[in-house]
C-alpha cells in the first residue's frame, strides 16, 4: 500500500510569512537610510573653524546664525567659495558659552540670531529605535522557533519521535532468529496494516497495542526495527525517557503531540522503547496524583483508549520490567497483546549464530551447531558478542578466516571471563587452586545426573582464580530435587578437597562464593520450592524484592519467628547432608582427585576430552607447546637462598606473584562476584 503524502504544516506557512515580513522590514529601513544619507550629502554645510567664522563676520558675509548648545550653524549673505567649492551655509563650534560681546557684534552686523535645542542625529535616532527593533526581532524569532524542529526553544511540548524514512537501511524478519513465535505475532500486525479488509470482514479490529516483554538482550528492539522494515507504513520511534523532562506538563504534551502525528499519518506504528520509564505503577507513591510521571501516564492511557478513538495507530512498546507497569496500561484495549521474547533455545541460538556469522569468513572446521549446544541460556546479544570476539581473536593472530578455535576461545572469554595473565600466583596458591577445582570436577564426574564437566582451569579468569565449568547437554527449564541436592554437593567439592588434602585447619577463603550459592539454593528449596518434608508445601519466603513506591511503602513480614527457626534448621540440615555427600564421594575417588590436580598443575587448563581421559585412567596427549622454564618477573616468592623460585609451566600461561585476595575457585561460569 503506498504511503500517504505528507500534509503541509500550517506552522511552516506561518514561519515563511514571518521571514518575508522581516526581510521587507529590513529592506525598507535600508532604503530610508540611503535616501537620508544622499539628501544630507546634497545640502551639507561647510565645516569652518571659529576663527574663520569671526573673519566672515567682520567682513559682513554672515546673514544668520543658529546656536545649538556649543554648536552653531549659519547662512552666508551670498555664496562663499571655500577650497574651490561654493557654500551657502556653514557649521562650526564655539569654544565656550556665547558671551555678550559676540552677541553685541552679531547685532551690530545685522545678523539674525536664533537658538534651538540640540537635534538628535542618526546615532541618537537608532539608539532610540533599538528597543523596538529588538522587540520585533524577538517576536520573529519566536515564530520561527515555534514552527522549527530539533531542540529549539519552546519545543518542550513537541514530541521527539523520529519518523523512520524509506531511505533508512532496513532490518527485516530475515535478520531476526530465535524468536519465531514473536515474529508470527508481529507479522500478523503487519498484515493488518497492509490489508485491513482481510480481517475486518469478520468483525475483527486492528490491535491498539503490542507489548514486547523479555530479559535484556533477547532482541526486543531488533524485532521493532524489523517491523519498521517490513511494514511499509510510517514508523515513529521514541524512547520512554524522552517524555519526562524537568518542566511540568511536558510529558503529557509530548504524548498528545505524538499521537497527533500518528493520526496524521495513519495507519502507522509508534514504537516506544523502555516504556517502564513512563508507565510505572500509580498509587500511594511519592508525588501523589500531581506527579509529573503520573500525568504523562494518564495522557498515554487516554490517547491509547479514551473518549476519542485513534483508529489506525498501533503502539508497539518494549520493556524488561513488566512487573512495574500500571495495570491500566496492560489491560486489553490498550495493550491487546503481550509478546514474550525469551532467551532462545538451542535451535534459536544456532539461527542467531548463522545470522551474525554471515558477515564473517568462516573456516571449514567451524560447526555453529556445536557452539549453540555449548551456550545454554545465552541471549542474542551474548551470541553476537561471541561472534564479534571470535573475529577479533582471528584478526589478532593475523588469520585469514575465523576458525573453530577462535569461537571456542571467544565462548570461554564471554562465559568464564578474560584470562588474567598479569595476576601472579605462588606455587602454594597454584596447588591449593588445583586441588580445589579438582574436587569440583571429581564430584561432577562421579555424581549421576549432573551436567557434564566442560572445562577446568586454574588460570585466573574474570574475578575467579580458578573455574570448573559444567555445560548441560540440552536446555533445562525445570530442576528436580535430586539434581539440586547433587548440585549442592558439587558446590562443596572444593572445600572438601582442601579439607582432605591440607587438613581442616588449612582451608582457604576460596570456597566463599560456593558457600554463598549453596546457602541460597538450599533456602529456596525450603522456602519456595517446597522440597522440605518438615516445612511442606508452604511458601514461607519473605519478599526479597526492593520496595516499589507506588505499590507498597513497607514490606510486611509474613513468617513467624518459630517458622523461621525451623527454616534455618532445615537449611542447615540440607547443607550438612550435601557436605557429607561430597566428603564420601571424594574419599572414594582420591586417585582421580590426585590425577586431575596434578594434570592441572602441569597444564593449567583441561578440556572435556582431557577430563574423560583422566576418568578412564588413560594418559593425556602430549602438549603442543613445550614446557619452558620461566623466571618470575617480580621476585614474588624468594627461596631460602634469596633467589627467585622458578616454576615450570606451559609457555604463555599464567604467572606468579603475591595473591592480592582469596584463593581458589568456583563451579560453573561466574555470574556474580566470585571473590569473598
Q: Could you tell me which residues come within 8 angstroms of residue 298 by beta carbon, excluding any fewer than 6 positions away? A: 252
Region class of 546: left (phi > 0), else alpha (psi between -120 and 50), else beta: beta
Contact 435, 593 (CB under 8 A): yes
What are the CA-CA distances from residue 233 to residues 229, 256, 301, 320 (Å)?
A: 9, 21, 24, 27
DSSP state of 286: T
What is the spatial distance between Cα 490 and Cα 382, in angstroms, rounded to a whole number? 27
Q: Residue 112 CB: number of other CB atoms within 10 A?
A: 13
Q: What is the largest CA-CA distance in the chain?
A: 142
Could you tell me how far CA 48 lies from the centroid of its own chain? 76
What is the spatial distance between Cα 347 and Cα 327, in angstroms, rounded to a whole number? 35
The catalytic position among 303, 419, 437, 485 is 437
Q: Residue 487 CB: number of other CB atoms within 10 A?
A: 23
Residue 72's DSSP bridge partners are 67, 92
Which helix (DSSP H) or strand (DSSP E) does residue 470 occupy? strand 467-470
What is the spatial distance between Cα 364 and Cα 366, in angstroms, rounded to a whole number? 6
* Cis status, amide bond into 598, omega within 30 of 0: no
List for the chain the helix, strand, coil content (%; round to 5): 45, 15, 40
Q: Over the range 29-39, which residues count as b (16 or more CB within 10 Å of their CB) and which as e?
A: eeeeeeeeeee
Nearest to 363 by CA among 387, 392, 399: 399
CA triple 609-596-504, angle to 5 deg: 150
DSSP symbols for 309-320: --TTEEEEEEES
DSSP symbols for 413-453: HHHH--B-TT----HHHHHHHHHHHHHHHHHHHHSTTSPPE
DSSP state of 75: E
Torsion sign over Cα 467, 472, 476, 479 = negative
Q: Would residue 602 show up in a list of annotated catalytic residues for this protein?
A: no
Catalytic residues: 437
Amino acid at each position: 500500500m503506498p504511503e500517504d503524502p505528507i500534509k503541509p504544516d500550517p506552522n511552516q506557512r506561518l514561519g515563511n510569512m514571518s521571514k518575508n515580513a522581516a526581510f521587507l522590514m529590513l529592506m525598507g529601513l535600508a532604503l530610508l537610510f540611503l535616501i537620508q544619507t544622499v539628501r544630507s550629502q546634497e545640502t551639507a554645510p561647510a565645516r569652518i573653524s571659529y576663527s574663520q567664522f569671526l573673519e566672515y563676520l567682520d567682513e559682513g558675509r554672515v546673514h544668520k546664525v543658529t546656536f545649538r548648545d556649543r554648536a552653531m550653524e549659519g547662512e552666508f549673505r551670498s555664496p562663499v567659495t571655500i577650497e574651490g567649492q561654493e557654500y551657502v551655509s556653514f557649521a562650526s563650534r564655539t569654544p565656550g558659552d556665547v558671551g555678550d560681546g559676540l552677541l553685541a557684534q552679531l547685532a551690530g552686523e545685522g545678523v539674525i540670531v536664533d537658538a534651538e535645542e540640540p537635534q538628535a542625529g542618526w546615532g541618537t535616532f537608532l539608539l532610540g529605535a533599538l528597543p523596538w527593533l529588538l522587540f520585533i526581532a524577538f517576536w520573529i524569532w519566536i515564530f520561527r522557533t515555534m514552527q522549527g524542529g530539533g531542540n529549539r526553544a519552546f519545543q518542550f511540548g513537541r514530541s521527539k519521535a523520529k519518523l523512520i524514512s524509506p531511505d533508512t537501511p532496513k532490518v527485516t524478519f530475515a535478520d531476526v532468529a530465535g524468536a519465531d513465535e514473536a515474529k508470527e505475532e508481529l507479522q500478523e500486525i503487519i498484515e493488518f496494516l497492509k490489508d485491513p479488509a482481510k480481517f475486518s470482514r469478520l468483525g475483527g479490529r486492528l490491535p491498539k497495542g503490542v507489548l514486547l516483554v523479555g530479559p535484556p538482550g533477547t532482541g526486543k528492539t531488533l524485532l521493532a526495527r524489523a517491523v519498521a522494515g517490513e511494514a511499509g507504513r510510517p514508523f515513529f520511534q521514541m524512547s520512554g525517557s524522552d517524555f519526562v523532562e524537568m518542566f511540568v506538563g511536558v510529558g503529557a504534551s509530548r504524548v498528545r503531540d505524538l499521537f497527533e502525528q500518528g493520526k496524521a499519518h495513519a495507519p502507522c506504528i509508534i514504537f516506544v522503547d523502555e516504556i517502564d520509564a513512563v508507565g510505572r505503577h500509580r498509587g500511594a507513591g511519592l508525588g501523589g496524583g500531581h506527579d509529573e510521571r503520573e500525568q504523562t501516564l494518564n495522557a498515554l492511557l487516554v490517547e491509547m483508549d479514551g473518549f476519542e478513538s485513534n483508529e489506525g495507530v498501533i503502539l508497539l512498546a518494549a520493556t524488561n520490567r513488566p512487573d512495574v507497569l500500571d495495570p491500566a496500561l496492560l489491560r486489553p484495549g490498550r495493550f491487546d497483546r503481550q509478546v514474550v521474547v525469551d532467551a532462545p533455545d538451542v535451535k534459536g541460538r544456532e539461527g542467531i549464530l548463522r545470522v551474525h556469522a554471515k558477515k564473517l569468513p568462516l573456516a571449514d572446521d567451524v560447526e555453529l551447531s556445536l557452539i549453540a549446544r555449548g551456550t545454554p541460556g545465552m541471549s542474542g546479544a551474548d551470541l553476537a558478542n561471541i561472534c564479534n570476539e571470535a573475529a577479533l581473536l582471528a584478526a589478532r593472530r593475523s588469520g585469514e578466516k575465523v576458525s573453530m578455535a577462535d569461537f571456542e576461545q571467544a565462548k570461554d572469554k564471554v562465559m568464564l571471563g578474560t584470562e588474567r595473565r598479569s595476576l601472579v600466583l605462588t606455587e602454594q596458591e597454584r596447588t591449593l587452586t588445583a586441588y580445589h577445582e579438582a574436587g569440583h570436577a571429581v564430584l561432577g564426574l562421579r555424581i549421576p545426573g549432573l551436567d557434564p564437566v566442560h572445562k577446568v582451569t586454574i588460570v585466573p579468569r574474570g574475578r575467579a582464580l580458578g573455574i570448573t565449568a559444567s555445560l548441560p547437554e540440552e536446555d533445562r527449564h525445570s530442576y528436580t530435587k535430586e539434581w539440586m541436592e547433587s548440585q549442592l554437593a558439587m558446590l562443596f567439592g572444593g572445600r572438601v578437597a582442601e579439607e582432605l588434602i591440607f587438613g581442616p585447619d588449612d582451608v582457604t577463603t576460596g570456597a566463599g562464593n560456593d558457600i554463598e550459592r549453596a546457602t541460597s539454593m538450599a533456602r529456596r528449596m525450603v522456602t519456595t520450592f517446597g522440597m522440605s518434608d518438615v516445612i511442606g508445601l508452604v511458601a514461607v519466603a519473605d519478599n526479597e524484592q526492593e520496595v516499589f513506591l507506588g505499590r507498597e511503602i513497607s514490606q510486611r513480614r509474613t513468617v513467624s519467628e518459630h517458622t523461621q527457626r525451623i527454616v534455618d534448621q532445615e537449611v542447615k540440615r540440607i547443607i550438612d547432608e550435601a557436605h557429607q555427600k561430597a566428603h564420601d564421594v571424594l574419599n572414594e575417588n582420591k586417585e582421580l582427585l590426585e590425577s586431575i590436580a596434578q594434570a592441572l598443575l602441569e597444564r593449567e587448563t583441561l578440556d572435556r576430552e582431557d577430563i574423560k581421559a583422566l576418568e578412564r585412567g588413560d594418559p593425556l596427549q602430549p602438549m603442543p607447546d613445550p614446557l619452558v622454564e620461566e623466571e618470575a618477573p617480580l621476585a614474588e616468592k624468594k627461596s631460602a637462598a634469596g633467589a627467585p623460585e622458578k616454576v615450570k609451566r606451559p609457555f604463555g600461561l599464567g604467572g606468579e606473584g603475591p595473591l592480592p585476595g582469596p584463593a581458589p575457585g568456583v563451579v560453573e561460569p561466574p555470574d556474580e562476584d566470585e571473590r569473598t
